[in-house]
Each structure stands twice: as C-alpha cells, then as structure tokens.
Amino acid sequence: MLTKRIIPCLDIKDGRTVKGVNFIDIRDAGDPVELASLYAQQGADELVFLDISATDEQRKTFATLVKDIARHINIPFTVGGGISSVADVGPLLEAGADKVSVNSAAVRNPQLIDELSKAFGAQCIVLAIDARKIDNSWTVHTHGGKNPTDKKLFTWAKEGQERGAGEILFTSMDHDGTKNGFALDPLHKLHDLLNIPVIASGGAGIMGHFIDAFILGKADAALAASIFHFGEIKIPDLKLFLQQNGINTRIAK
C-alpha cells in the first residue's frame, strides 16, 4: 500500500486560524504560524493553508503570512484562497508555497485549471471541491460554501483532472466540523473515477475515521482541522495508530 498522508488544514480569516461546523459558526483556533510549526514538528506530511474570506472579500491571499509560515516548516505546503489567474500564483510560490488550491475561480472559469497546469505543472495544482448532497446529488458550492452551482461533484472532478489538476481536495459540507466521519461513498466513487490523488476532508472526529477514509473511502490523504488545532488528536499518536492497523504512513524520526 502506498504511504497515506495526514494533512492539517489552516483555515485563515483576518490572519487567524479559524474553524466552523458545516462552514458556519466560525471560531478562533489559534495563531497560524505557531500551529504550522507544531504540525511540521509532529510529523504532518503536508500543510494546507486556505484564506477562506479572500474570494468573498475580492482580494488576494496574504502572501506575507504565507512567507511567515513557510519559514517555519519543512513539509509540502498548499495555499488557496482568492487565486483567479496565473499572475496570482507566482508570488505565492515565491513566498514558499509548493502547490496552490483553486476552487471558486475555477468553477467560474474552468479554463483557469488548464492555464495554471500549463504554467506550473499539474503537480502544483489542487482542485478543491466543496459539495453538499441536495436531492440525492452532490452539488458543488463556491465562495466558502455559500453559493450552490449547477456543477456536480463527480463530473466536475473528472473535468478538473482532464484540464490538468494534479489532485482533488474534496470537502463534504454535510460532514465538515461534525466529527462524525468522512463522506465515504463519494470518496470511494472519486477514487474509482479518477487516476489522480484524492484528499478526504470534512468530518474527522476520532482516529478510526481516518482508517475508514483510507480503507473504505480509498482516499490517498486525509485532511483535518479542529481535532488537531484543539489537541483532541495528536499527529504522532494518529500515525502510530494507523501503522498498528495496517495503514502505511510516514513516521517522523
């Protein structure tokens, strides 16, 4: 089995790490630089930084904060929020990002994925998809989950792959922050549909949920936020638990 990745996510608003439930009821979760440094030390495989209000506020991601975080970590670093053109990406990569995540702007202009992949390579482009089940269909939402669209999860993920995305970050809005487990059925379907890695996001509450994501959902990586931010699960403990249950993970030396 390939090594499965554990990825803490820093949702950033006004320069602070925040976390909500079902994309609402946002509360403060700490200093992003301190958290990023801690997670790198604990053996996280990657880090995701999402400036969750950049699109709504029609501004670019805070490159200064990206640079501050990058100086304190030695693991791959994905940055998203407000990226809508090729010109937006260069400053973030120069600030220390390894990959960029696109969401709302790609839904609005799918050609953006082609342009970014051509300019920086597919390995640099993560297509983030926020979806909620409506009338038995997984409907894609934009602007931090506020706006439903006419796009459906599976067709949009497939199109994203064909346009040059190197990875899919799927967040179930129904599961986000609930700590009741990941959305396993759509994860498994995405795995069967695609030939690029799928990151599971939304719903982690106990260590067993990660096993479910990897075994039942066939996810390549699992992302979580509040359980790490508030110390409910520590990354070294989680990785040891996964190893003991037959899941291949990278253990920090």
185 belongs to the catalytic site = no
pTM for the model stands at: 0.91
**Who's near 197: CB < 8 A, 6+ residues apart?**
166, 167, 168, 220, 221
CB 236 within 8 A of CB 43: yes
- Among candidate residues 45, 51, 88, 130, the one labeled active-site is 130
- Among candidate residues 11, 51, 88, 176, the one labeled active-site is 11
Question: How many Cβ atoms from other residues are within 10 Å of residue 105's Cβ?
Answer: 19
The yes/no answer on whether domain 5-244 falls in CATH 3.40.50.300 is no
Backbone torsions φ then ψ of 227, nearest 5 degrees:
-65, -30
Domain boundaries, the chain: 5-244
Among residues 225, 181, 224, 234, which one has the least CA distance to residue 203? 181
Strands (DSSP E) contained in 24-108 are 24-30, 47-51, 77-80, 99-102
237 belongs to the catalytic site = no
pLDDT tens digits along 101-146: 999 999 999 999 999 999 999 999 999 999 999 999 999 999 877 8
Burial class (CB in 10 A: 0-12, 13-18, 19+), 27: exposed
pLDDT tens digits along 136-190: 999 999 987 789 999 999 999 999 999 999 999 999 999 988 899 999 999 999 9
